[in-house]
Amino acid sequence: MSFSGQTVDKKITYSFPSTGLIWQDRQHRELFKRVEFFVGAIEEGRGKEEVLKLLEFLDEYVVFHFHDEERAMEKAGFPDSLAHMKEHTGFIDELSELRVELSNKYSPEIVDRIRTRIVRWLKDHIGRADKELGSFLLDEDGRGVHR
């Protein structure tokens, strides 16, 4: 596995809703791969340091992905951009809170709760907010290459 940010070919366990927009779906797939690495490390009982590193790895990609979506919103004049960006910021804050929590106390219960929260947030956000954005961007340019 690499931490340099390139795509790693791996099956996705967590299915995610498609927004219909190719670049957005591709990034979501990458995001879920990173969730998988994180969850895999937990399940294999790897050490706290490694689990924290993977959480950071996930965090990095989230920032990159949110930035791309926000740039696309701005370019296209997406009307719900403020609410959408607020959700992004909320998740970034949550990830850093989880990181602090995990470094203070490492237990299977905490790890499990963190995993559930991350997967639930992503599925909800992608299935609702990102889908709305994806449809808007597709209507915008008719091809979905707006980015």
Q: What are phi and psi of 46, to 5 degrees?
A: -70, 160
CB of 119 to Fe ion, least distance (A): 14
CB 8 within 8 A of CB 66: no
The residue count for binding Fe ion (CB under 5 A) is 2
- Could you give the string, one character per residue 82-121, with x where binding to Fe ion holds by CB under 5 A and - elsewhere? ----------------------------------------
69 near Fe ion, rule: CB under 5 A: yes
CB of 106 to Fe ion, least distance (A): 29
CB of 105 to Fe ion, least distance (A): 30
C-alpha radius of gyration, the chain, whole number: 16
25 near Fe ion, rule: CB under 5 A: no
User: What's the CA gap between 107 and 28, in Å, rounded?
Assistant: 28
How far are the Cα atoms of 17, 87, 91, 114, 123 from residue 132, in angstroms, in the given order?
A: 12, 14, 18, 26, 14
> Rule CB under 5 A: which of 118-137 touch Fe ion?
130
List of residues contacting Fe ion (CB under 5 A):
69, 130
